[in-house]
Amino acid sequence: MATEGKIWGKGPDGKEIYKYKLTAADGAYVELSSLGAAIVSVCVPDKDGVLGDVVLGYDKAEDYLADGPCAGKCPGRFANRIAKGHFTLDGKEYTLPVNNGPNHLHGGPQGFQNRVWDSRIDGQAVEFLYFSADGECGYPANLKVVARYEWGDDHALKLTFTAVSDGATVLNLTNHAYFNLSAFKENVLGHELCLAASEYLPTDQTLIPLGDSEPVAGTPMDFVTPKPIGRDIEADFPALKYGKGYDNCFVIDDYTPGQLEKAASLYCPASGRALDVYTTQPGVQIYTGNWLNGCPAGKHGLTYHDYDAVAIECQHFPDTPNKPDYPTAELRPGQTYEEAIVFEFSVR
């Protein structure tokens, strides 16, 4: 393993943005950025041993700032949506910026994904640290978050989040990388997706969960058995109409807090590349890149289009602060937030 870092650009406040490269023994590598604690590139071999970059992203650091897709970054404080930008904690109501129709999305326009994190190389890992002040984007309490990435010769990218706060708050962290296992030689509608999720969360038209989960069986939301992403994507079904494709949270079977469970598998028949995703979190949001048209120019001279990549976002459920029956997203003094996501790449 080799790890290196360099200055890649500057944030709006002049803070230097660093890019890091972690290289496995066989040359497969990952690139990370301190802007949004982002995954910039994952270059892994196909069935013929040819390396290809399977993550959507941009050549310029500055293009990651406030990009619509939130490519590869870690949004926060609360990934996904909070209805109407309001929640109540310990009897006090908090108001958050509304930036997605009537709702608050990914911590708002100044969320963690658009901040330059502190960063360092720690042996064969890279750590990003962000301090979020009490009241930032409307959230209560001072919060310290660390995102740690490790890349191994086994082509497993491990992301662990830890956080502590000095007061009661809510927290939901994920990574928003988009994957295309053909290395963008085709879109992802032919990729085969399998989810360890026999239920999903139906939503209203603004993608806020209605409440209880429902079985996927007999619906286009069923990925319990692998199927091409595009097979049912144009079905006459509310969830698919609301989001112009998949943009839904699936409930991971056998969820146990703190226990790493398999959430998803993605396979590209053309390249032979496969991705298995594991997490300690209760949900996985599948977003099929339904609105990628018009995003910044991509790496390697690419122009991205709708359905060119799929995001597999392991997280707590959307609108959890307003849904007391969901697994809690509260963090209190004396507690340590600890969650993990593993992206394991292979060839079949």
Inter-residue contact 169 to 331 (CB < 8 Å): yes
CB 236 within 8 A of CB 219: no
- Measure the CA angle with vertex 346, ends 342 and 348; round to 5°: 140
pTM of the entire predicted model: 0.98
In order along the chain (348 residues), what is the average pLDDT of each group of 10 residues? 90 95 97 98 98 97 96 98 98 98 97 98 96 98 98 98 98 98 98 98 98 98 98 97 96 96 98 98 98 94 97 98 98 98 98
Residue 2 is predicted with a pLDDT of 81
The pLDDT assigned to 86 comes to 98
Distance CA 253, CA 158 (A): 21
pLDDT for 271 equals 98
| Cα distance between residue 12 and residue 301, in whole Å | 25
Cβ-contact 288, 188 below 8 angstroms? yes
Out of 127, 136, 192, 313, the active site residue is 313
Known active-site residue 191: no
From the list 176, 191, 192, 339, the catalytic residue is 176
Domain housing 285: 2-347
What integer pLDDT is reported at residue 49 of this predicted model? 98
Do 314 and 174 meet the contact criterion of CB atoms below 8 Å apart? yes
| CATH value at residue 56 | 2.70.98.10
Answer yes or no: 176 catalytic: yes
pLDDT of residue 1: 74
Structural domains of the chain, count: 1
**Who's near 301: CB < 8 A, 6+ residues apart?**
none
The number of beta carbons lying within 10 Å of the beta carbon of residue 46 is 19
